[in-house]
Structure 1
Amino acid sequence: MPARPTRSLTEGPIGRNLLLFSLPILGGNIAQSLNGSVNAIWVGRFLGESSLAAIANANNIMFFLLGSVFGIGMAATILIGQAIGAGNIAQARKVMGSSASFFIGLSIVIASCGVWLARHLLAAMATPAELLPLAEAYLRVIFLAMPLMYAFTFLSAALRGAGDSKTPFRFLLVSVVLDIAFNPLLIFGIGPFPKLGIAGSAWATLLAQGIALLGLLFYMRHKRHVLWLGRKDMRLFVPDLAVLRTLITKGVPMGLQMVLVSMAMIAMMTLVNRFGTDTVAAYGAALQIWNYVQMPAMAVAAAASTMAAQNVGAGHWDRVDATARTGVLFNFLMTGALILPLILLDRWTLSLFLDSASAAHEIARHINHIAIWSFLFFGVMFVLSGVVRSTGAVIPPIIMLVIALWGIRVPFANLLQPTLGADAVWWSFPVSSLCSMLMAMAYYRWGGWRKARMGAADTRAIAVPSEVPATPPSPVADPADPDCKPDDALQRA
């Protein structure tokens, strides 16, 4: 018999469970960004600001392509979470097999096309001519690594849907350590390794992801995890039509949300490119700092979505609302605790990526002071969108995101650029983020997301009542439920 989930998120104190479940996700996010920052230090300090600017351009395309299949993995996670919450292990395994076949197959197609389109995609972003060869050399290798990155991300999300956030974190650490170790070896050609320059940083990512993915697969097989599918389960890899339909109808819109974010990032990068290499390098360095600021909200949102999905499956709607309130509270506490020191110490932190005497360094500080506050507001939208998506309400968050990014942020940056110059780009972040927070809170309070369903594959145990109290999330609400019993972990079979 396969092992059962290691943690139930349908019982126990909400605050404690959400925090313990989100901490490994946060740790993984920090490790990933630390990995990117260390690699950026190697590139920026030893290969030059042009190489750092080239990677900033290439990474925007990479995020776009990751986002294009992200929604399918998120839909699978919600379906698995609902099935686990309802106690339907067979359905969870069916979702796992169908999702893996569809998700990984699609990622291979996207990556194959990307290898040939790398230069054209960079040119479409108005990448400066002097950066194009460097960015192309890096991006082509990243495309080769895409299927490995997709597979690892999908498995991690599926495990979290089953209530296990620790295992993905452990193997993510393996990937990060290997990537950091391989970077200088392949960039500079140390020892038996070839000297590959900027492409060496991408090859380090490919090797690290491949090794970590194999390790995760062997671990799941050895532990006989509930989601491990062996030779006897090959039939489960044949896509189930109900699951496939749900993955497409719900996953594609959620993936579109990530694509829209990535496209907005590309649009902003295109605007920034007009101001020259110094500004591009400054923006790239600021992005490295911002990666850390948005991590708490992203981790809490991912944990809240999984916890809400399990409780939707179990029919515990009071816990779904409590999860939303607690997630918003944690976002304000954790994100706010990062912003202030990063403002006070940004002269030092930015000097990790840029020469402190350079013009780009001062530009980066100016950008940081204006835009970093936006992540406090954007985090609220992350958390609330994660909760409402757990029921299958995937379209309203997209509409709100379209309005925030393409109705406010990009037009603001474009239209006010003649008046404010580059500052129009930086101010567009807090303005659009504040609007997104207000829209998300309004929809959570008055929207009909509780009545949404994931489709034919929805496995919730109890239908939502026709009238459910709609308590708006408050950043000062008590995150714990004192009447809950202590968490009882499910035992492995």
Structure 2
Amino acid sequence: MIDKHGLLSAPIGRVLFNMSFPNLIGILTIYGGSLIDTFFISQLGTDALTAVSFTFPVAVVFASIAIGIGAAVSTNLARLIGAGHHDKAKNFLFDALLLTFLLVSVLVSLGIMAIDPLFTLMGANEKTLPLIHDYMLIWFISAPLLVLLMVGNQGIRATGDTRSPAIIMSVAAIINLVLDPFLIFGIGPFPRLEIQGAAIATLVSWVVSFTVSVYILVFKKQILEMMSLCKLRIKKNWKTLGHIARPAALMNMLNPIANGVILAMLARADQAAVAAYGAGIRLETLFIVVTMAMTSSLMPFVGQNLGAGQHKRAKEGMLLALRFAFVFQSLMYIPILLSGESIAKLFSSDPLVIDWLSFYIQVLPAAYGWLAIVIMFATCLNAYHRPLKSLVINVIRLFGLMLPLAALGMYLGGVKGLLIAIPVTNVIMGIACYIMACRITEHPSVKYTNNNSNGNSGSDSGVTNSADSVI
């Protein structure tokens, strides 16, 4: 087997850097575009910014499905590639994308029918509900493209290529950035569509990027091709996919559910706090962008090395990444703290929104180093084929700690008390996750077939999975 990207043999630090840097550029571009999108929408007023903030948990539900299926695609493809089963990898990716399309299409249909009751339940009022309806109708139509794009990009990353997905996401961000002001404000020959314009710009960007992703998978990587609909093969691959995808998707869907609960708490206290929290969530993604970039690199690195039987190298890479991310995110808190109010003023002219967003920026990033450990370790557990452990960690973090502490904080200190509960939760879980990472070992019943066969023999997935063991 050719180790083109050096995942199995090159120095660990250099490999992770070479893989993470393109990821960093791509994520910076896409989330930078998202922040600019938020900035343009904020110019329409507090109601528009609040409306988009309410839509965030629903958007993250679809992203969570993509992350869950993508995690299963990434770790299984990486193991198959690491073990030399390239034909089986093609079959697996096709079947995974087929399941993705069918699942998301059903959810889109349900989502369109439930827009008004869902967001009313979350606390949207008569001012924001019509804006949410205008935005989400278009967003739901474009959602299948987003999810397929994210899963396809994980297939590319599984080969060790992080540059191509970065380019794809950068293209999406640039198209969205260029179209936003024209469609939102009606510049030149374009009509003034306001919040609908932002959704249309996003739709166009995903259409183009999805096309580029399919081209790379089919023609450059030659890891995707049309397959016959073999019921037995599809059933086996979906079962293998589901072993990681179900708990991973559920794990990621817990985050928007928890955010939805927090938004509901805030909505009953202060609508300006809702707008600030929505902007803060988007800022948070940018603040932890290095962590996100390294997390995307760890999946194929750990997966390929485990597939090749190099367990010690996989663990060394994981621990190195955890330590680096903790130190980096902790140091990043200093410039974030010093520029909190200036950043907040970019997103609103409403004094109340500025006050709440400034407080968010001052408090939550203090624990981003510990949050980085939680995110990266939970992701690595998928590569170790222990998705249930990853799910349990997130359930404990969100529903065992964060929401009870947020409710207590709201009772004792209002909005500020609620926000303080979030970094406290991340510190507790970060310490626990680092201890578990130091103790993790490869499950003895996960078998690897480390040869250069064309995939016509051995098990269908290249690995044999059993129930998760205790870490």
TM-score if structure 1 supplies the norm length? 0.87
Counterpart Cα distance in 2 of 1:237 and 1:134: 44
Match of 1:109 among 85, 91, 106: 106
Given that residues 74 and 299 in structure 2 are in contact (C-alpha distance below 8 angstroms), is that contact kept between their aligned partners in structure 1? no
Aligned residue for 2:63, secondary structure, equals helix
The aligned counterpart of 2:223 is 227
Is contact 2:79-2:303 (8 Å) kept?
A: yes
Contact (CA 8 Å) 2:104, 2:143: kept in 1 or not? yes
Counterparts of residues 26-65 of structure 1 (less than 5 Å): 26-45=24-43, 47-65=44-62
Q: Which residue of 2 aligns with 1:488?
A: none
Stretch deviating more after TM superposition (343-352 or 237-246): 237-246
Of 225, 240, 245, which residue of structure 2 is paired with 1:246? 240
Is 1:301 equivalent to 2:299 in the alignment?
no
Hey, what's the Cα distance between the residues in 1 that align with 2:135 and 2:120? Answer: 14
1:87 aligns with 2:84: yes
- Give, in whole Å, the separation in 2 of the partners of 1:69 and 1:212: 15
* Cα gap change, 1:322 to 1:446, in 2 (>3 Å): closer
CA distance in 2, matches of 1:175, 1:238: 37
Counterparts of 1:238 and 1:346 in 2: how far apart (Å)? 56
- Per-residue CA deviations over 1:86-131 (Å, capped at 9, x if unaligned) read 1211121111111111112211221122112112221121123321
| Distance in 1 (alpha carbons) for counterparts of 2:446 and 2:254 | 23
> Does 2:139 correspond to 1:142?
yes
Residues 65, 147 of structure 2: 8 Å contact kept: no
| Paired residue type of 1:210 | V
**Aligned Cα RMSD in Å?**
2.4
Distance across 2 between alignment mates of 1:255 and 1:31: 24
Aligned residue number for residue 286 of structure 2: 292
The alpha-carbon deviation at position 237 of structure 1 amounts to 9.9
Q: Is this contact kept in 2: 1:388–1:444, CA < 8 A?
A: no
Per-residue deviation, 1:438: 2.3
Q: Which residue of 1 aligns with 2:452?
A: none
Q: 1:100 aligns with which of 80, 97, 109?
A: 97
State the shift of 1:448 in Å.
Answer: 5.9
Shift of 1:192: 3.4
Shift in CA distance, 132/213, structure 1 to aligned 2, threshold 3 Å: same
Match of 2:321 in 1: 327
Give deviations 1:168-212, integer Å, cap 9, x for gaps: 111111111110111112112233333221111011100110011
Gaps of 5+ in 2: 449-458
Q: 1:450 and 1:19 mapped to 2: Cα distance?
A: 27
Determine the structure 2 residue equivalent to 1:16: 14
User: In structure 1, what is the Cα distance between the partners aligned to 2:427 and 2:185?
Assistant: 44
Report deviation, 1:239.
5.0
8 Å Cα contact 2:182/2:188 also seen in 1 = yes
Please name the residue that 1:255 is paired with: 249
Structure 1 residue 287 displacement after superposition: 2.2
The change in CA–CA distance for 1:376 and 1:263 in structure 2 (over 3 A counts) is same
Q: Is the 8 A contact 1:122 1:136 kept in 2?
A: no
Tell me, what secondary structure is at the counterpart of 1:354? coil
Report matched runs for 1:8-407 at 5 Å.
Answer: 8-45=6-43, 47-223=44-220, 225-230=221-226, 233-234=227-228, 239-355=233-349, 358-407=351-400
2:20 and 2:447 map into 1 onto residues whose CA distance is: 24
Distance in 2 separating the partners of 1:435 and 1:342: 22
- For residue 374 of structure 1, report the CA deviation from its aligned partner: 2.4
The verdict on how the C-alpha distance between 1:337 and 1:405 changes in structure 2, with shifts beyond 3 A counting, is same
Q: Aligned pair in 2 of structure 1 residues 454, 36: CA closer, same or farther (>3 Å)?
A: farther
- The one-letter code matched in structure 1 to 2:224 is W
CA–CA distance in structure 2, aligned partners of residues 251 and 215 of structure 1: 25
| Residues 393 and 453 in structure 1, CA contact (< 8 A), matched pair in contact too | no
Gap runs ≥5 in structure 1: 465-469, 471-493
Deviations 1:4-33 (A, max 9, x none): 885241111001101110112222221121
Runs of 4 or more, structure 1, over 6 Å off, are none
**In structure 2, C-alpha distance between the alignment counterparts of 1:415 and 1:85, rounded to whole Å:** 48
Change (3 A) 1:454 1:119: farther
Identity of aligned residues (%): 21
Counterpart Cα distance in 2 of 1:181 and 1:238: 46
How many Å separate the matches in 1 of 2:230 and 2:10? Answer: 33
Q: What secondary structure sits across from 1:275 in the alignment?
A: coil
Q: Distance in 1 between matches of 2:219 and 2:440?
A: 45
Distance 1:234 1:183 in 2: 41
Superposed displacement of residue 323, structure 1: 0.9
- Deviation (angstroms), 1:37: 0.8
The SS at the match of 1:421 is: helix
Aligned length: 457
Q: CA deviation at 1:214?
A: 1.2
Q: CA deviation at 1:69?
A: 4.4
Change (3 A) 1:139 1:6: farther
Q: Which deviates the most, 85-94 or 313-322?
A: 85-94
8 Å Cα contact 2:135-2:196 kept in structure 1: yes
- TM-score, normalised on structure 2? 0.91
